[in-house]
Amino acid sequence: MPFLPIRSTIGALLLVSLAARAADAQASASILTTNGAGSLTTLSTENGFRTSWHQAIPGNFGGSGGENLLLYDRIQGEGKFLSSSTTGSLTTYATHTGWSTSWDQIVAGQFGGSSQDDLLFYDAPSGIGRFYTTGAGGSIALLRTNTGWNQYDTIVPGNFDGSGTTDLFFYSRTRGEGKFLRTDGSGNILLQSHLTTMSKNWDQIVPGDFDGNGTTDLFFYERIRGIAQFWSTNGTGGISLIRGYVGIRSSWDLIVPGNFGGTSHTDLCFYDRTAGEARFAFTDGAGGWALQTVRSTSPRWLHFVAGDFVPGRTSIYAYDGTLRVRIHAVRCMDSDGTRATAITPAEVRQWVDRANLVYSKAGVWIEFDERTDYEVLRNTTINTLDLCREFSSEAQCNVHKQAAETWALRYPCKIVVFFRYGNSPSPTGSGFSSEEANYVAMPGFNNTVTTQYFHDPNTPGHGDAIQGIKLLAHELGHYFGLNHTHVGIDYGNTSNPHAVVAAYLATLSNPTPDSLDGDGGDTWDTPPDPGIDYFHALGWNPADLDREIRINVPALGLDFTFSPDRSNVMSYWALCNGYLRVSPDQVREIREVLHGSKSQILDRCAHYVAGRKLLYGGGCPGTSNLAPTHDVAGTLEIGNAISLEVDNAVAGTSGVLWIGIQPLRLNLAGAGMGTCDLLVNQIVSLPFSTSRSGFARLSIAVPPDPSLVAAAFYSQAALLDLGTATPTKLTTTNGVETVVGGDR
């Protein structure tokens, strides 16, 4: 039974790492076991898994007697049943195609009146729940369709009434309600209790026997305030608090129940995907626990699922369908070098690190190499890129957007981020993007200013203006297909925001609570959100989680109360908290977009290498104590011309360009060249002459030969300079490493 995973004295950890790399869209599966004290040992590793599995469901399907696994691919509408062996290998024994792509959750349990596990498929937006029985060989048959199950965030299975059959607990985060329901073995459900005053901030609800009485209890976890609570169930739909904790780490992504300590009650395994760390909590049956040392698990698992996959052991199937994407940061300035955006590679790194705290929750990891993913662009048109409201016409705005689109296509395998000045006298502080765009527009690092709020307004720093460290995460959300959670209501200087909202709703043909849900058409599980300015207009603390909004408009037949999601990355309330979240349906949207309209940054990465360059070493001084410089320009891909350039040199002099396939760092003082270094083990030497401005350019045509992709060459120039103090009258430039890109 997946709701009571306590079947042995020593736990096992089945970590199936679909460690997907965007470079090959492949994944590996590793099975790890535990020794009851928190250590992990690899049992087996398999390769060749896909990256698009939406959910993994364990159970005794078809009466096989052992724990099997159902994988559901929501993008392709496919289900696959797998069995496991004593060695941890996984074997597919049934595949189903043509399934609906709208199932938000699949739950296993004894719903058909037999001892085997059946399946409940749940479509939250439509409120449809379908029970299916399972049969031999991975077959399934419809038992009953239920309707009216309106938008519950999670369905938790468990033996809540002590009968031994699978009951259900429904939880709505938006409405702050929970329902206990019994099943009758024929697909019917019976309401046991309706809890209407639950917290609207629970992130995870975990089933298990935490008080030792044999029935299923519940563990609740809230990330924003670091709250954890054990609650016991009484068999009739009532719950009572066993014990609560505060100050819990807020970065736990997944919490798995299982018998990891060898006792008769349920233990917990906490997992932090961003840090790649796990912690075991061995419970004592009375709400207490003993926390083991954090263990590094390296991969960034997307799913943890408990079950007896290795016979005789409680196991965990963990799925890491990580989609790795790469940022290419472009620091913009005007063509003449003015209006330069203030951004450094280290500051880009800070923004990327914060974004990874968010999108690792969606199984997306953003990579950024300061050496190869950062460049400076002198382009007035792109540097002026801004929101269309900053231009006199949409046509003028589109000139800048089209220039950015065209330039971004140089890096089809990366997310190009333009850090630009904007179209105002002062540098912009805003950013923007969309699913349709091939780039993200961002401001300089310290041009973003926001206000920080804390749940306790007495916290030092409450209300202070701070740098907007969360902005890149927010704009990447737009790039990944997410919309704002809030609606765009202009409150002006009103002190009565309720009247403004009422007037807004009156303009709609059929106003409902969802009319205040800014992304309701795309993601269903974010609550109504009238915008943070509603709180500002009333002088309320936006971070006050206990402060709700009531919209009462009798003329429209509306009277509802809700609590905005203060931590969602796509809301402006997110500035209230250090922790940012994406909802489960936002995760679904992100992954579907990356497998769909944005698949070019994944699919082409399977055979595409981005060309890049790296300047290294330094030149030695010549006339006027100036050192000549060397750079490489152009599209660094096969089938294109690459320009090798020398600048800052003596006018009208001659030189030679050295090209090789290995770098060097050999000081030439012994050859009479002072502080000059030889930076290339040269194979080819090409002569050139500088212009009156001390500039030279050599063009090399790279053949369209796929075997040259990812090949590296190194170049450096030496020049005659009669003004240098060295006996040889020669100076040298820095070196450049060039990696040729293109499709392999």
pLDDT tens across 597-607, in order? 998 888 666 66
- CATH number belonging to the domain at 607-743, selected among 3.40.50, 3.30.350, 2.20.130, 3.30.70: 2.20.130
| Band of residue 326 on the pLDDT scale cut at 50, 70, 90 | very high
Q: Does the pLDDT of residue 1 top 50, yes or no? A: no
Cα gap 739→170, rounded to integer Å? 55
The pLDDT of 63-91, averaged and rounded, is 86
The pLDDT assigned to 456 comes to 85
Contacts of 14 (CB under 8 A, 6+ apart): 31, 32, 33, 43, 84, 88, 307, 309, 310, 315, 316, 317, 318
Q: Does the pLDDT of residue 682 top 60, yes or no? A: yes
Residues 562, 549 contacting (CB under 8 angstroms): yes
Structure tokens at 509: 């043909």
> Residue 214: how many CB atoms within 10 A of its CB?
13
Q: Does the pLDDT of residue 61 top 60, yes or no? A: yes
Residues 501, 489 contacting (CB under 8 angstroms): yes
The pLDDT assigned to 299 comes to 64
Tell me: the pLDDT tens digits for 559-595?
999 999 989 999 998 767 677 899 999 999 999 999 9
- Identify the residue with better confidence: 10 or 386: 386
Q: Does the pLDDT of residue 341 top 90, yes or no? A: yes
Cα gap 348→383, rounded to integer Å? 17
Cα gap 511→503, rounded to integer Å? 11
Largest CA distance in the chain: 97
In the chain, % of residues over pLDDT 90: 67
- Which residues sit opposite 207 in a β-bridge? 218
Give which of 35, 31, 39 is closest to 9, Cα–Cα.
35
The pLDDT assigned to 51 comes to 86
Which is it for strands 712-720 and 730-732: parallel, antiparallel or unpaired?
Answer: antiparallel
The pLDDT assigned to 21 comes to 31
| Lowest mean pLDDT across 44-48, 228-232, 289-293, 345-349 | 44-48
Give which of 149, 148, 145, 190 is closest to 172, Cα–Cα.
149
Tell me: the pLDDT tens digits for 101-135?
999 999 999 998 888 899 999 999 999 999 999 99
| Band of residue 298 on the pLDDT scale cut at 50, 70, 90 | low
Cα gap 173→545, rounded to integer Å? 13
The pLDDT of 416-427, averaged and rounded, is 97
Structure tokens at 690: 């500088």
* Tokens 């403004």 belong to residue: 500
The pLDDT assigned to 608 comes to 72
Topology of the domain covering 28-321: Methylamine Dehydrogenase; Chain H (2.130.10)
| Band of residue 449 on the pLDDT scale cut at 50, 70, 90 | confident
The pLDDT assigned to 313 comes to 63
Q: Does the pLDDT of residue 336 top 60, yes or no? A: yes
- CATH number belonging to the domain at 325-605, selected among 3.30.370, 3.40.390, 3.30.390, 3.30.1380: 3.40.390
Q: Does the pLDDT of residue 15 top 50, yes or no? A: no
Cα gap 173→730, rounded to integer Å? 73
> Residue 669: how many CB atoms within 10 A of its CB?
11
The pLDDT assigned to 16 comes to 36
Contacts of 213 (CB under 8 A, 6+ apart): 232
Q: Going along 235-347, which residue ranges are E strands?
A: 239-245, 254-258, 267-272, 277-283, 289-291, 295-296, 303-307, 315-319, 323-333
The pLDDT assigned to 29 comes to 67
Q: Does the pLDDT of residue 532 top 70, yes or no? A: yes
Tell me: the pLDDT tens digits for 192-224?
999 999 999 999 999 999 988 888 999 999 998
Structure tokens at 449: 């200013």
The pLDDT of 641-652, averaged and rounded, is 95
Burial class of residue 635 in the structure, from the number of CB atoms within 10 Å of its CB (0-12 exposed, 13-18 middle, 19+ buried): middle
Mean pLDDT, the chain, as a whole number? 89
Provide the 8-state DSSP code for 708.
Answer: G
Cα gap 274→169, rounded to integer Å? 29
What is the helix (H) or strand (E) element at residue 400, kind and residue range?
Answer: helix 394-408
Give which of 281, 267, 285, 325 is closest to 9, Cα–Cα.
267
541-554 burial: b if 16+ Cβ within 10 Å, else e: bbbbbeeebebebe
Domain residue spans of the chain: 28-321, 325-605, 607-743
Tell me: the pLDDT tens digits for 254-290?
999 988 887 888 999 998 988 888 888 999 999 999 9
The pLDDT assigned to 26 comes to 57
Cα gap 463→448, rounded to integer Å? 16
Sign of CA dihedral 308, 323, 39, 357: negative
Q: Does the pLDDT of residue 7 top 50, yes or no? A: no
Q: Does the pLDDT of residue 62 top 90, yes or no? A: no
Q: From residue 722, how far is each of 309, 623, 627, 731 by CA, in Å?
A: 77, 7, 13, 10
Q: Would you call 84 helix, strand, or coil by DSSP?
A: strand
